[in-house]
Amino acid sequence: MPHRKHPIFPCPYTADTIYFGFILGRLLNYRSRQAFLLGSSLTVLVDMAAQDEVPFPWDLGVFDAHCHPTDTMTSIASIPLMRARTLTVMATRGEDQDLVLQVASELGTERETDPAAPTASQQQGQGEIGRVLPCFGWHPWFSHQIIDDISSASGESQRQEGGGRDDTDTKRAKIAHYKKVLTPSTDDQSFFLSLPDPKPLSALISETRERLNAHPYALVGEIGLDRAFRLPNPWMQEELAGRDASLTPGSREGRKLSPYRVQATHQRAVFRAQLRLAGELRRAVSVHSVQAHGAVFEVLQELWKGHERKVPSRRERRRRGSAAGAHELSDAEDETTHRADAESSNSATRKPLVSTTPSEPLPFPPRICMHSYSGPAEPIKQFLRPSIPSDVYFSFSSVINFTNPSADKVVEVIKTLPDDRILIESDLHCAGQQMDELLEQIARTICRLRGWDLHEGVKRLAENWHRFVFG
């Protein structure tokens, strides 16, 4: 997610302090942020698993699947000094698209070897990928700033006629747009006029395509849906006078929230257009989903329709390649087994319905990461059905997934997922030592929960990142 002043996680707190505070809060059944910070400050000596005493194997390659260091540009100079191998850096809004492009140009080198088959040397050779992998996209928190001139007839009219308008007409169009896409309905024109001038969705897609073409391995992100987010109130003069000038403008930065949300239908239109662009260029996407996992799946399902992978039944597989004398399953057994197979995500056995070349456009992204996934375990099954033509990954962060009372749910999710669909991330707004600490913490946590040896687990997480990014 984009940067915001996080009362639970101000910069002085380390990853271990966060973990200790979380554990203490859970033991004492505390739920308030104040209690959490109290627990953090005490730095309780919790008995970590034995593997925490093992030196962390940074040399195997650690890859941050989702972060926002361009929210604090003063931290960018620390990226070459970090122990993490590569940061997957997200863009979210108008103010940071060119910043991500700039940082990628300075710190990201393109991979020269076959992206489909990362070898151990490729994973350990930093120069082939670079310290930064850029991602370009428009976050749902800022989707109200976009005029849908792709799926909306009225938006198309606005786009075509906008060039000849005077200031009065432009203001009227701006007010009409925000009145249309924000809920609950309001006539608060001063609030509308305090917002940025909206830009056409067609222009956003064109600009994003240009940036993606400039970086052949760049991803699309951060994009998605958010049912909980409310727009912040306009800046007050005293707030502007005291804002942290080191932070990239455009995000909330601790402002109080207004009652207004972005209409779900509008969020979907912006999300869908970016998913289609990712499919056109065969790029992976990083998806933000808050109280919207079902809606995200519905949008993807629309794009997947007609492209589902053919999944042969177990009986069909046995007929093609069974050993001599293999038993024939009864119809009931076959149906039960097929249902179980449908919940498996073994990508090695999944074949596309229609053969495509690596450069052929798709109407959907080939790979998807549900970043800092916060939903329950049960809905994951629908994302992992063998018939789904996209490979869906799930990434986790200490900051988002392990600093709230729903952490028990996250533990269940991590234990449920297939080995090859798990990624780690920091989701942090500043690069440097803190980001490294958070990556180490979440990697150790996942290895502990999965029962993985630390070295093997870190290696597996690196392989998963390569497969997510490059296919």
How do the domains of the chain map onto residue ranges?
A: 60-147+199-310+347-470
For residue 33, what pLDDT is reported?
35
For residue 5, what pLDDT is reported?
40
E runs forming strands in 82-192: 86-89, 132-134, 146-147, 182-183
For residue 164, what pLDDT is reported?
54
For residue 361, what pLDDT is reported?
95
Q: Are strands 63-67 and 86-89 parallel, antiparallel or unpaired?
A: parallel
Residue 23, CB-side half-sphere exposure with 13 Å CA sphere: 14
For residue 52, what pLDDT is reported?
65
> In Å, how far are 50, 439, 459 from 453, measured between CA atoms?
11, 17, 10
* pLDDT mean by block of 10 residues, the chain; 471 residues: 44 46 41 36 37 88 98 98 98 98 87 43 50 98 97 54 68 96 96 97 98 96 98 93 93 96 98 99 98 97 96 78 48 41 45 55 98 94 96 97 86 97 98 98 98 98 98 94
For residue 273, what pLDDT is reported?
98
User: Dmax over Cα atoms in the chain, in whole Å?
Assistant: 82
SS3 286: strand
For residue 380, what pLDDT is reported?
95
Fold of the domain built from segment(s) 60-147+199-310+347-470:
TIM Barrel (3.20.20)
User: Whole-prediction pTM value?
Assistant: 0.81
For residue 117, what pLDDT is reported?
41
For residue 129, what pLDDT is reported?
73
For residue 110, what pLDDT is reported?
54
For residue 100, what pLDDT is reported?
98
For residue 14, what pLDDT is reported?
47
> 10: which 2 tokens?
């101000």
For residue 440, what pLDDT is reported?
98
Q: What is the DSSP letter of 309?
A: P
